[in-house]
Amino acid sequence: MMKKLLFVGMLLAALTACKSGSKQEAAEIKDLPRVETAAPVASAMENYFKAVEEAKQDLHSIMVVQHGNVIYQRWLSEGEQNKPHVLNSVSKTFTSAAVGLAISEGKLKLTDKLVSFFPDKLPAEQSDNLKAITIRDLLTMNCGHDTDPTRIVRDAEGGDWIKAFLAYPVEHQPGTFYCYNSLGTYMLSAIVQQVTGEKVVDYLTPRLFEPLNIEKPEWQESPQGINTGGWGLFLKTEDLAKMGQLILQGGKWNGKQVLPADYVAEMQKSQVPCVPAGVKPEQAQEMGLNKENSDWVQGYGYQMWRCRHNAFRADGANGQYIIVIPDKDAVIATTANIGDMQAEINLIWDYILPVL
């Protein structure tokens, strides 16, 4: 009897261990695989953090991924591994992904006109330039505004953001003038909601967030109940790294095509010339910005920036980055509170890029 009880006990223990192992394995699958940090990378990162400290940069986290493996990660200051961080304009890249999915599902076309989606919100008089704005113009920040209306519209209490955008003067022919425009991305969010019947965060959940094992995130909304699109998304550092890796892999994840490959290719291309947010082309020249010294004049895609070193990125105010470096098969994700984002990325190029 004792032998039988002992055998049953051992069997139960073995089954419990197997179940525990299965849970552990499942938990690991949700994250990017880790490898031991190589000595040259460790040394470079030590020097990088010294430079960050000397520059008084308030870096919150950094994750370096190469060949699909996390080769370095660190959280500091206000960064926490399991706490979502404000992304600011990195949100735009996720809105762009929603647009790409809606196009692949036949709900949108790049050539669709903005005015066709909101006939009840149009101003009484519509300029030819307003009528000409397309989905592609919104994606490439070429909708024709001379200045960004975002702050004016967002800070107007209780106003309808769509109506305000449509009423804002369109001085330039759409497709011919770059003006960084966060409210234009909000309009893309509103359009996706219009054609799918879902907020962008809900539309992306089964199509993007769940395949990447990203917990349903928080995304701020306008007074009209539309995700802000151009800002307001909160994700963890590893979530950013996963998004970068997905784009690096042409939209594939675990062998499945999560984002349309042709759209992902267009996201990262230089579709139009660009300048930093709030800066006009002539001002960029006066500031001495050029292809050699600035990552803000390399060209703009579909809600993503081109970088030096044949890289491209999603970026958000105060130092939020998803940097994709195809030549190194690498992704670098950061969160921070750093005002000088060129100085931030310069240190990445100076210290981390050479050891990848």
Model confidence band, residue 125 (pLDDT cutoffs 50, 70, 90)? very high
Q: What is the pLDDT of residue 158?
A: 76
Global model pTM greater than 0.85 = yes
Provide the token pair at 113. Answer: 């006109």
pLDDT of residue 46 exceeding 50: yes
Using CA atoms, how far apart are residues 271 and 312, in angstroms rounded to an integer?
Answer: 12
Provide the token pair at 211. Answer: 């395949």
At 241-285, the pLDDT tens digits run 999 999 999 999 999 999 999 999 999 999 999 999 999 999 999
Instruction: Indicate the pairing of strand 330-336 with strand 320-325.
Output: antiparallel
Lowest mean pLDDT among 1-10, 32-41, 114-123, 283-292: 1-10
Q: What is the pLDDT of residue 216?
A: 82
Using CA atoms, how far apart are residues 306 and 325, in angstroms rounded to an integer?
Answer: 10
pLDDT averaged over the chain? 92
pLDDT of residue 224 exceeding 70: yes
Torsion from C-alpha of 117, 86, 179, 127, nearest 10 degrees? 20
DSSP 207: I
At 170-211, the pLDDT tens digits run 999 999 999 999 999 999 999 999 999 999 999 999 999 999
Model confidence band, residue 28 (pLDDT cutoffs 50, 70, 90)? very low
Domain ranges, ordered by start, for the chain: 41-355
Q: What is the pLDDT of residue 3?
A: 42
Average pLDDT over residues 82-107: 98
Torsion from C-alpha of 92, 98, 101, 103, nearest 10 degrees? -80
Q: What is the pLDDT of residue 30?
A: 75
pLDDT of residue 146 exceeding 60: yes
Q: What is the pLDDT of residue 4?
A: 44
Q: Which fold has domain 41-355?
A: Beta-lactamase (3.40.710)
Q: Identify residue 276 by its one-letter amino acid code.
A: P
The fraction of the chain above a pLDDT of 90, given in percent, is 89
At 312-341, the pLDDT tens digits run 999 999 999 999 999 999 999 999 999 999
Q: What is the pLDDT of residue 22?
A: 32
Q: What is the pLDDT of residue 287?
A: 96
Average pLDDT over residues 64-79: 98
Model confidence band, residue 9 (pLDDT cutoffs 50, 70, 90)? very low
